[in-house]
């Protein structure tokens, strides 16, 4: 107990906290496991789950590193995004998210108070999503060798028997939906970074979408495919979907759900909101006759309040995404070329 007092007193992470000895254990105990409360101190989580043993159930497994700058931003922080991002990667594959791992790379000198806020935020978000953070790791690197803290989560979930969301399932005539406004996360990060002298009320859309996907699948079991529109924005996931399906997608500019502030920021900076990152927004492709049911299911939830149709699938040039513009013309919506906003997630 003396050690805890001694090593945590100054409230900055030191290299000793990464050394594998007492200081590391104190950091892990006081900051991480005291909050995440894993069932044992073994290095690996050991997990049982009846759903996994159903015949035909599959396991879903995904990972993402999070390097967002700044690590705290309006509407979230790197911890929240690290939980939501991985929960959403599982959910859009039709999996029920169950367990997460969390690995932290921490720069020497980082305030312990910041770590505590990040960890609290992860715990809150995991609880909301109904997942458990069951295993983890911490590494400490020297000053200037990393930028404050990077978080890598991996997630495991179960895909119930019979569920198979897959871009290859998409058919001409299907409808493309989103659950909410586009580009809020990218816009919030841009404003939070401060080097644009932008002031903005926009907050990140960062949210876990596991419950929303479950609700949609219950109401519209014919859903073909879903993707979360993170880096590269909605434009990139629509291109991925069109390419994998070998069909084309046409969206309608008049239908794009955009906040006035985001629209304004994009106009000032010459950005295209279709390429702005989202962290709680997904694109869903559904058969036309189930679109209304899917929309209703989403709109019943806070993270789907602004759900709407943005386009449809056509038997056109395979892999092509086009947009009917406000002025009645049409333009190609390509994948993002080059960099847009670095370190948005």
Rounded to the nearest whole angstrom, what is the least distance from the CB of residue 43 to its own copies in the complex?
A: 5
In the numeric block, the tokens 């109401």 are attached to 219
Distance of CA 303 to the CA centre of its chain: 13
Task: Tell me which residue of 283, 231, 280, 279 sits closest to 255, measured CA to CA.
Answer: 283
Rounded to the nearest whole angstrom, what is the least distance from the CB of residue 209 to its own copies in the complex?
A: 13
Looking at the Cβ atoms of 201 and 272, the one nearer to its own copies is 272
Do the beta carbons of residue 329 and residue 262 sit within 8 Å?
A: no
Looking at the Cβ atoms of 129 and 341, the one nearer to its own copies is 341
Rounded to the nearest whole angstrom, what is the least distance from the CB of residue 261 to its own copies in the complex?
A: 22
Rounded to the nearest whole angstrom, what is the least distance from the CB of residue 241 to its own copies in the complex?
A: 11
Q: What is the DSSP letter of 31?
A: I
Looking at the Cβ atoms of 1 and 329, the one nearer to its own copies is 1
Rounded to the nearest whole angstrom, what is the least distance from the CB of residue 135 to its own copies in the complex?
A: 5
Do the beta carbons of residue 86 and residue 155 sit within 8 Å?
A: yes
Rounded to the nearest whole angstrom, what is the least distance from the CB of residue 215 to its own copies in the complex?
A: 19
Residue 116 structure tokens: 């505590």
Residue 114 structure tokens: 């910041």
Looking at the Cβ atoms of 118 and 309, the one nearer to its own copies is 118
Do the beta carbons of residue 226 and residue 270 sit within 8 Å?
A: no
CA distances from 197 to 193, 205, 225 (A): 9, 21, 39
Looking at the Cβ atoms of 15 and 332, the one nearer to its own copies is 15
In the numeric block, the tokens 């659950």 are attached to 179
Query: CA-CA distance, 337 to 26, in Å (whole number)?
Result: 45
Looking at the Cβ atoms of 254 and 317, the one nearer to its own copies is 317
């Amino acid at each position: 107990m003396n050690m805890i007092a001694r090593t945590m007193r100054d409230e900055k992470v030191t290299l000793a906290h990464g050394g594998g000895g007492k200081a590391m254990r104190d950091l892990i105990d006081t900051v991480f496991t005291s909050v995440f409360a894993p069932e044992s101190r073994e290095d690996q989580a050991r997990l049982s789950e009846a759903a996994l043993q159903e015949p035909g159930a599959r396991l879903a497994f995904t990972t993402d590193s999070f390097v967002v700058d700044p690590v705290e931003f309006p509407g979230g922080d790197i911890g929240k995004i690290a939980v939501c991002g991985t929960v959403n990667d599982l959910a859009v594959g039709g999996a029920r998210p169950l367990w997460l791992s969390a690995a932290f790379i921490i720069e020497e000198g980082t305030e312990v108070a910041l770590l505590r806020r990040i960890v609290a935020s992860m715990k809150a978000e995991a609880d909301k999503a109904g997942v458990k953070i069951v295993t983890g790791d911490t590494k400490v690197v020297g000053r200037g060798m990393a930028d404050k803290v990077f978080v890598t989560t991996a997630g495991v979930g179960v895909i119930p028997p019979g569920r198979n969301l897959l871009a290859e399932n998409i058919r001409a005539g299907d409808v493309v939906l989103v659950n909410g406004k586009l580009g809020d996360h990218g816009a919030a990060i841009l404003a939070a970074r401060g080097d644009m002298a932008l002031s903005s009320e926009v907050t990140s859309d960062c949210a876990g979408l596991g419950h929303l996907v479950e609700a949609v699948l219950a109401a519209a079991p014919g859903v073909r495919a879903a993707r979360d529109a993170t880096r590269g924005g909605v434009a990139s996931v629509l291109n991925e979907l069109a390419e994998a399906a070998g069909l084309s997608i046409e969206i309608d500019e008049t239908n794009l759900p955009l906040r006035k502030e985001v629209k304004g920021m994009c106009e000032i900076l010459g950005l295209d909101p279709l390429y702005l990152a989202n962290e709680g927004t997904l694109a869903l492709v559904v058969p036309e006759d189930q679109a209304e049911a899917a929309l209703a299911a989403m709109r019943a939830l806070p993270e789907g309040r602004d759900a709407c149709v943005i386009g449809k699938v056509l038997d056109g040039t395979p892999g092509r995404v086009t947009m009917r513009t406000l002025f009645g013309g049409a333009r190609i919506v390509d994948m993002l070329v080059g960099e847009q906003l670095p370190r948005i997630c």
